[in-house]
Amino acid sequence: MKILSVMIAILFWFMVYTNENPIETRQITIALTPVNEISLTDGNLRILNEYDTDVEITIRGRKTEIEKVTAADFTAYLDFNSIKNEFAEFIEITDFNYIGDRNINYSLIGSGRVGLNVDHIVAGEIPIEVDVIGETAEGFFLAGSPAILPASFTVIDTSGLVTQIDKAVVTVDISGMKGTEVLRMFCSVLDAEGNEIDEYKNTTVVDITVNVAKSVPVEVKLEGVPAIDHISTGSSPIPSHVLVSGPEEELTMIEKVSTLPVNMENTKESFSVTSGLQTLPAGVGYVGSGEVEVSVSVESFQEKTITFNSGDIIIRYGLSNKDYDIQSNNIELIIKGRMSVLNQITSSTIKAYVDVGNTVDGELSLPLRFENLDSVEQMSFPLIDLYIQTIKDFAVFAEDIFIENKNGGKYDYELLNTVENMRVIGLLENIELITDTNVNPTIDAAELAAGTHTVQILVNLPEGVSILGDMTTLLRITDK
């Protein structure tokens, strides 16, 4: 009876316990712990998709038991060491265990694996191209292709993404540039259709050096002089212009460049020589060679003789009361110069003149001067002989004129002009001897009948002085 009573009591207890603490089933989410991810890197693999990092499980047990079970009581792992290549499509959940102390049953919900999209990591060296648009400012030129640093970039990515890359491009606008510039820019990574790949947008920075050069003329710098009776007729550089590159502020100051001095001392013929160019300011350089070929033309003087007559010579700075008599004739001018110049020079193209300013009366020799001979290298200045006299006017009054050989018994004599002009020529020192009292003007009335006559006036003049032209007066003779 005692044993039966105990058994009945146990039965009653079990019936009450079962009703108040039944067996239940519940789902919870537990975390999946990734392990051995380094094996992906070692195998050059990458997971492309967002894979699940937790999983649903079922737990079963008495209500009082499962109520005390948490997600932390379970372990489950994703072991990436099992992924060997890019063809893997899933990873198994491993080491799923309950580490708690409750009396429960548990199991995974689902397949027990996680889907993956795996790709192989590859490396590629992508060259960077420069696409130049626009035009430089007038007189400036793009000197070669822009330099890019780095010239390429290394891409390490999934094969699916790397194979999309067609090229990398940097677009540089050179519109209005007047000097070398360094630009820091992002490069665009494009696919085969020219579309930019978003994954690489604004990821690679490059420095672009755009060498913009200015075209400037070359001036030949000569030193020394050719041999005697030779002349340099010109020089020319080949090329006539060179390109210089550098910062805009420096190029603005450079309008031309010169060669290093080219020596032509004692040369007798034309020659060519390679010459360096002047040193440029810091930061500025020549594009290409810093040398030019210089051609120097040298000619020997030719000689030409031009003959002038006295009538070809102009008197300059003479006085109106002087007479200048050029006594030389067949005057020879000898000139030297380039034959092409001499051929254009004749006596008609030259103005020959003599400067008689500040001269005195008498015989003298003066150098002949010439105009329009600037292009002649050498010339002689021949001397010409002149005889200079003074011209002076005197008044001769009628009352001072003595009438000789009058027939006073038959005629009356009357001078109709009250005064006559006497113009004389001679050396000034002799003319200054003339006075009103020593001229003694006279006319000869011999053999003159009644009427009005033009008669010659005779005067006494110092030696070497003579009258210019005829000096006459009107004489009226009437019968008494």
Q: State the average pLDDT over residues 52-64.
A: 91
Q: State the average pLDDT over residues 66-88.
A: 90
User: Where does 309-379 show beta strands of DSSP type E?
Assistant: 313-316, 322-326, 331-337, 351-355, 362-367, 369-371, 378-379
Decide if pLDDT at 20 tops 70: no
Decide if pLDDT at 54 tops 80: yes
Whether the model clears a pTM of 0.85, i.e. scores above it, the answer is no
**Cβ-proximal residues to 391 (8 Å cutoff; 6+ apart), any chain:** 321, 322, 323, 423, 424, 425, 468
Contacts 24+ apart (CB under 8 A), 133-136: 133/171, 133/172, 133/173, 133/174, 133/175, 134/173, 134/174, 134/175, 134/176, 135/174, 135/175, 136/174, 136/175, 136/176, 136/177, 136/178, 136/212
Decide if pLDDT at 277 tops 90: yes
> Which amino acid belongs to residue 161?
L
CA atoms within 13 A on the CB side of 272: 7
Hey, what's the torsion of the CAs at 14, 16, 22, 23, to 10 degrees? Answer: 0
| Burial class (CB within 10 angstroms; exposed 0-12, middle 13-18, buried 19+) of 383 | middle
CA atoms within 13 A on the CB side of 91: 30
Which spans in 227-344 are helix H?
248-251, 339-342
**Cβ-proximal residues to 179 (8 Å cutoff; 6+ apart), any chain:** 140, 212, 214, 245, 246, 247, 248, 249, 250, 251, 252
Q: Could you tell me the pLDDT band of residue 465, with boundaries at 50, 70 and 90?
A: very high
Q: How many residues does the chain have?
A: 480
Residue 201 to residue 321: CA distance in whole angstroms: 102
Decide if pLDDT at 397 tops 70: yes
Judge whether 232 and 298 are in contact, CB under 8 Å.
Answer: yes
Structural domains of the chain, with CATH? 2-116 (2.170.120), 121-210 (2.170.120.40), 214-300 (2.170.120.40), 391-479 (2.170.120.30)
Query: For position 239, what pLDDT does the model report?
Result: 93
* Largest distance between two CA atoms of the chain: 232
Q: What is the mean pLDDT of the chain?
A: 90
Q: Write out the two tokens for 270.
A: 């034309």
Helix (H/G/I), strand (E/B), else coil: 232: strand
**Cβ-proximal residues to 116 (8 Å cutoff; 6+ apart), any chain:** 47, 49, 51, 83, 88, 89, 90, 91
Decide if pLDDT at 269 tops 90: yes
Strand partners, 271: 296
Judge whether 92 and 132 are in contact, CB under 8 Å.
Answer: no
Judge whether 272 and 294 are in contact, CB under 8 Å.
Answer: yes
Q: Could you tell me the pLDDT band of residue 414, with boundaries at 50, 70 and 90?
A: very high
> Which amino acid belongs to residue 72?
A
Nearest to 43 by CA among 81, 92, 79: 81
Query: For position 190, what pLDDT does the model report?
Result: 87
Q: Write out the two tokens for 321.
A: 């009361």
